[in-house]
């Protein structure tokens, strides 16, 4: 059997994690199928739907979606109908729809997505790398990373890195510490995508205060001084500009939303935009 290559568009008004998991769980039921995933997360405007449909025109293939807004859903379904491609809610019978498109009967084997395939071992390798390169450790081999995250303390660098590692991306994170120079290796990286995280100074101060209370540290320090924190964030921004790194504001974002935004910019960096 020759391999079948398809384009698969995953459209979500949230992080897209559900779409990703459902698509993988269904596609492994079909032999010899390779899918290029076009991930569209945080889709919440009509303009964004138009961008999705434009990509579908260039790369025709099934569209899986999770959209709450009925107007956006209707716009997407109508656009897909005009382009004669399947438009499937992940709450519907995804396997049957993909089976019709691929011309195959599904294997109907529950749990097959958990088999120890190459993707599984890629995730393990990514996790090993990420754990070894947390909080500025082992900067000598940053070139081996897929993604390098830079940011001041308490901008969710570590949990975001671990989330990305679980998706198969070897991720290092580097703290921006007042008075401490960033590793020079950061400025000469070729392969890795470097992304900076920032936070609203007021919100950041509160997060740090809560952290200190958890650790039962009550002393007032520069770490939680509002003016010092504000200056720290401004100085970090200057470093990000110097490095030419894109910036994501994580204020009130969940880890999943931050990771989704990182992957959007990662795709753009590598010319893989949907």
pLDDT at residue 149, rounded to an integer? 98
pLDDT at residue 116, rounded to an integer? 53
In percent, the amount of the chain with pLDDT more than 70 equals: 91
Please state, rounded to an integer, the average pLDDT across all residues of the chain. 89
Number of neighbours of residue 141 by Cβ within 10 angstroms: 12
pLDDT at residue 161, rounded to an integer? 97
Average pLDDT estimate for 131-149: 95
Higher local confidence (pLDDT), 260 or 70: 260
Any residues with CB less than 8 A from the CB of 197 and at least 6 apart, and which?
149, 150, 151, 155, 156, 157, 160, 247, 248, 250, 258
Distances (CA, A) of 51 to 44, 45, 76: 12, 10, 11
**pLDDT per residue as tens digits for the range 8-67:** 999 998 888 888 888 888 888 888 888 999 999 989 899 999 999 999 999 999 999 988
pLDDT at residue 36, rounded to an integer? 92
Number of neighbours of residue 83 by Cβ within 10 angstroms: 13
Q: How confident is the model at residue 221 (pLDDT cuts 50, 70, 90)?
A: confident
Instruction: Say yes or no to pLDDT of 115 above 60.
Output: no
pLDDT winner (highest mean) among 92-101, 104-113, 144-153, 208-217:
144-153
Pairing of strands 63-66, 87-89: parallel
Span of 8-12, 101-105, 166-170, 204-208 with lowest mean pLDDT: 101-105
Instruction: Say yes or no to pLDDT of 111 above 80.
Output: no
Q: How confident is the model at residue 1 (pLDDT cuts 50, 70, 90)?
A: very low
pLDDT at residue 117, rounded to an integer? 61
pLDDT at residue 91, rounded to an integer? 66
Higher local confidence (pLDDT), 148 or 122: 148
pLDDT at residue 112, rounded to an integer? 58
Overall pTM > 0.85 = no
Q: How confident is the model at residue 92 (pLDDT cuts 50, 70, 90)?
A: low
């Amino acid at each position: 059997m020759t391999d079948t290559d398809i384009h698969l568009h995953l459209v979500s008004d949230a992080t897209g994690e559900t779409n990703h998991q459902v698509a993988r769980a269904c596609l492994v039921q079909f032999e010899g199928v390779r899918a290029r995933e076009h991930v569209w997360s945080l889709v919440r405007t009509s303009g964004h739907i138009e961008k999705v449909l434009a990509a579908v025109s260039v790369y025709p293939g099934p569209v899986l979606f999770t959209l709450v807004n009925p107007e956006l859903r209707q716009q997407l379904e109508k656009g897909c109908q005009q382009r004669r491609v399947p438009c499937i809610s992940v709450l519907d019978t995804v396997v049957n729809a993909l089976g019709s498109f691929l011309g195959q009967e599904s294997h109907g084997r529950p749990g097959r997505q958990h088999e120890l395939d190459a993707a599984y071992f890629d995730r393990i390798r990514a996790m090993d790398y990420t754990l070894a390169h947390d909080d500025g450790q082992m900067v000598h081999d940053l070139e081996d990373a897929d993604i390098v995250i830079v940011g001041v303390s308490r901008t969710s660098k570590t949990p975001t890195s671990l989330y990305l590692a679980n998706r198969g991306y070897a991720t290092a994170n580097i703290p921006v510490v007042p008075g401490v120079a960033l590793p020079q290796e950061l400025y000469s990286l070729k392969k890795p995508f470097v992304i900076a995280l920032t936070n609203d100074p007021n919100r950041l101060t509160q997060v740090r205060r809560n952290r200190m209370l958890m650790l039962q540290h009550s002393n007032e320090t520069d770490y939680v001084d509002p003016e010092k924190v504000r200056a720290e964030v401004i100085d970090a921004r200057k470093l990000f500009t110097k490095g030419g790194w894109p910036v994501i504001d994580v204020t009130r974002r969940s880890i999943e939303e931050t990771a989704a935004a990182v992957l959007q910019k990662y795709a753009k960096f590598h010319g893989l935009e949907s």
